[in-house]
Amino acid sequence: MPLKFVIIFSFLLFFKFNNSFSQQDSATLTEKEKQKNDIKEYIFHHLKDTHDFDILSYKSKVDNKKNYVGFPLPVILWDNGLVVFLSSNLNHGKDVAHIGANYYKLYHNKIYKTDSTGEIIYDDNGNVLNIKPLDFSITKGVLSMFFISTLMILLFRSLANSYKITGGVATGIGRFFEPIVIYIRDEIAIPNIGKKHYKNYMSYLLTIFFFIWFLNLLGLTPLGINVTGNIAVTFSLALLTFLITNLTAKKDYWKHIFWMPGVPVVMKIILAPIELLGVFIKPFSLMIRLYANISAGHIVLMSLIALMFIFKNWIGSSLSFLLAFSISIIEILVALLQAYIFTVLSALYFGFAVEEHEH
């Protein structure tokens, strides 16, 4: 509550001092509206995955042309055969890529097949009629996941090797991660799954925890990467938990869903559809929780940073910077918290699946 009060009070100060110190004419207001729209477009563009790895962009003062700082990524399409080319051919959707006898255009972060003019055709309902090839491209998000996966392999392989050399004593950076691994085992896996079955799920729980945590932290860097704020990624992670839970579940688990022991027959008929629905609601909640929290954090943080460019005065910009800094600290905690929650709930679902009932 005190933090909420500080944020609300700071926003009130923003608008009070901004109105006091800025008295622009109609032309300036029009420019401000254009700036706000550009900022809004930039924020929503940041939340989406891209075919280029762009670190930043700027407009040239000479020709007002937007320039990007980054590097292209490989575009991999299946269009009656494999089609591979660099995303620089698309030029961020400004150019038409002429590959072989076909033409491709990037439109709203999706690649469509077009003619040489790059025309996008719509139906009466505003839907795009152009053919959209199957896209297996190495996007910014995919490259980030490859990077984090490689980092985890190198990190924990070195930790495992240090155990072999020193006889079970971690060395180097492994001393930082060893207590976390032990905590996940002793405080998450064993209490929720049980000592009998927890080892079967430890590798997945450790992988999912560090994978989400590292990706969340990577999203807070100036690289502008938003992986766990992509619902396709959170859906895939939740799907893995769903599959492992139901494919390893014992008969008691299914019995308590479809025909609960000790419950009147009429109630069993009523409760069975509800319990079955819960099987799908659990992974759905995992998906939405991670996606919504990370996306909201990115939107709030970038909105606060954008306020500095809107106010353009010492008071408003300074308060905006302080708020953005405070939210950044909170987001570091949220990055860890979301990885923890996803891991705890996954372990809890695994515990439900392998629980053995004496009755």
Burial class (CB in 10 A: 0-12, 13-18, 19+), 200: middle
Closest among 54, 60, 28 to 42, alpha carbons compared: 54
| Residue range 303-332, pLDDT digits in tens | 888 888 777 777 877 888 888 888 889 999
Q: From CA 198, how far away is CA 110, in angstroms rounded?
A: 42
What average pLDDT does the segment 182-200 reach? 93
Residue 126 is predicted with a pLDDT of 82
User: For all residues of the chain together, what is the average pLDDT?
Assistant: 84
Burial class (CB in 10 A: 0-12, 13-18, 19+), 26: exposed
Residues in the chain, overall count: 359
Which residues is 68 bridged to in the sheet? 57
What average pLDDT does the segment 21-35 reach? 56
Q: Residue 123: pLDDT band by 50, 70, 90 thresholds?
A: confident
Poorest-pLDDT segment among 27-36, 75-84, 154-163, 325-334: 27-36
Could you tell me the end-to-end alpha-carbon distance of the chain, in angstroms, rounded to an integer? Answer: 47
- DSSP state at residue 120: P
Q: From CA 322, how far away is CA 343, in angstroms rounded?
A: 32
Residue 187 is predicted with a pLDDT of 94
Q: Which helix (H) or strand (E) holds 191?
A: helix 190-193
Residue 356 is predicted with a pLDDT of 73
| Percent of the chain as helix, strand, coil, to the nearest 5 | 65, 10, 25
Q: Residue 285: pLDDT band by 50, 70, 90 thresholds?
A: very high
Q: Residue 246: pLDDT band by 50, 70, 90 thresholds?
A: very high
- DSSP state at residue 122: B
Q: How many CB atoms lie within 10 A of CB 263?
A: 14
Q: From CA 70, how far away is CA 87, in angstroms rounded?
A: 12
**pLDDT at position 12 over 70:** no
Closest among 233, 193, 192 to 212, alpha carbons compared: 233
Spatial neighbors of 104 by CB under 8 A, at least 6 apart, are: 75, 77, 83, 90, 96, 97, 111, 112, 113, 114, 133
Residue 28 is predicted with a pLDDT of 52
**pLDDT at position 9 over 80:** no
Q: Residue 133: pLDDT band by 50, 70, 90 thresholds?
A: very high
pTM here is 0.83
Q: From CA 222, how far away is CA 46, in angstroms rounded?
A: 12
Q: From CA 166, how far away is CA 285, in angstroms rounded?
A: 43
Per-domain boundaries in the chain: 67-138, 140-354
